[in-house]
Amino acid sequence: MSTPDARVEEAPRRRLETRTTPTEDPARLDRTDPARHVAEAAEAYRNWGRWGEDDRLGTLNFIGDAERARAAGLVRRGASFSLSQPFDMNGPQQGWRRRTNPVHTMLDTGTDAAAGTQGFPHGLGGADDVIAMPLQCSTQWDGLGHIFDHGVAWNGRPAGQVVTSDGDLVTGIEHAASALVGRGVLLDVGRYLRPEASEDGPAGELPEGYAITTADLEACIAAQGATSAVGRGDLVLVRTGRYARALRDGWNGYAGGPSAGLSFTTAGWLHRTEIAAIATDTWGFEVRPNEFDDAFQPLHQVVIPNMGLTIGEMWDLEALAADCAEDGVYEFLLVAPPLPITGAVGSPVNPIALK
């Protein structure tokens, strides 16, 4: 098998003549040239080959047995928080790229049992059901096969050889089924930056289109204290307050519409902190509208196929955030395995935070 560096040369992608340090100042982004900024960040933060040419986990490799053992020690009270939105027809999806809300259908019901039509002996009755849904329709993980950069998938593999009509043949989400357990850290940026209500909105909720910067993340960590320090192998959760607004006011464009989110310029922070994964309470993880005149999810393009970072979206962080604010402890054991759906490029998840 060829090396990752050799494989990328086989793919049509923009090459930089000299390596440039990407800016971490959103004001210095050239809104008219997203391609240049994406290429610079991809070059600077690429992890191809870091865990071998056959790697399937990317930054999840930062979580080992020792990290999970230490994370288990964070459980002191036994308090448990589900971080999942409901999976039902009242979900956020509006049909973008054929994404729909879950369709739940009963196959057998109590009515059937009462009518005696199920064919079971000695009065036994039962209920069965089925669900049909896109894997990215509610609380979920983006797998490493979800996004490509100029036809190249994670670790420098040609996208067409990774994900086919048979699914993700290399980095299917099933490979992460036991990996996503570790130390969770909540960065409640919404509550930190908006401690009180203002004319721009309620307390704890960032305005639509607000780009969370590296400086914001680091200031939030400093304000929250030692339990929110972020480092290698951590599973970072960023709360913007966008889901709180949806709960109060209705979806109103939650899926794909304007939202606070991470600035494109946080790619360097995501890389150097060596976190294992990150999730937000928003539909798209990064700020929307994006920070360029003509772009679509450029931070995804850097961090998934180049950095190998697993991303979670549409998480419900409200109850956990309230508890963290009350006791001042922002770290916890996070158990968030994807469903081991063979060849899937994403998965629904019911993440559990234990404190």
- By the 8 A CB rule, do 112 and 118 touch? yes
The answer, as to whether pTM is greater than 0.85, is yes
Burial 175-201 (b: 16+ CB within 10 A, else e): bbeebbbbbbbbbbbbbbbbeeeeeeb
- By the 8 A CB rule, do 282 and 311 touch? no
Where helices occur in 250-354 by DSSP H, the ranges are: 267-272, 298-302, 318-327
Query: Model confidence over 227-262: pLDDT tens digits?
Result: 999 999 999 999 999 999 999 999 999 999 999 999
CA angle (280 as vertex; 302, 33 as ends), nearest 5? 30
Amino acid at 340: P
- Residue 202's nearest CA partner among 246, 236, 158 is 246
- Say whether pLDDT at 14 is over 50: no
Q: 4-92+135-354 — its CATH code?
A: 3.50.30.50
Where helices occur in 107-228 by DSSP H, the ranges are: 110-115, 159-162, 189-193, 214-224
Query: Model confidence over 331-346: pLDDT tens digits?
Result: 999 999 999 999 999 9
- Say whether pLDDT at 88 is over 60: yes
Burial 16-32 (b: 16+ CB within 10 A, else e): eeeeeebbbebeebeee
**Which range, of 15-19, 133-137, 204-208, 304-308, averages the lowest pLDDT?**
15-19
Query: Model confidence over 32-83: pLDDT tens digits?
Result: 999 999 999 999 999 999 999 999 999 999 999 999 999 999 999 999 999 9
Query: Model confidence over 100-132: pLDDT tens digits?
Result: 999 999 999 999 999 999 999 999 999 999 999
* 21 secondary structure, DSSP code: P
Question: 3-state class of 174 per DSSP?
Answer: helix
Residue 225: band (very low, low, confident or very high) from pLDDT cuts 50, 70, 90: very high
Peptide linkage before 195 cis (omega within 30 of 0): no
Distance CA 268, CA 22 (A): 8
The pLDDT, as a whole number, for residue 211 is: 98
Read off the tokens for 265: 């310029």
- Residue 159's nearest CA partner among 10, 54, 22 is 10
* Dihedral, 318, 321, 323, 324 alpha carbons, nearest 10: 170
Percent of the chain with pLDDT over 70: 95
What residues does 105 pair with on adjacent strands? 130
The pLDDT, as a whole number, for residue 10 is: 44
- Say whether pLDDT at 7 is over 70: no
Domain-wise residue ranges, the chain = 4-92+135-354, 106-132
- CA 57 vs. chain centroid, Å, equals 14
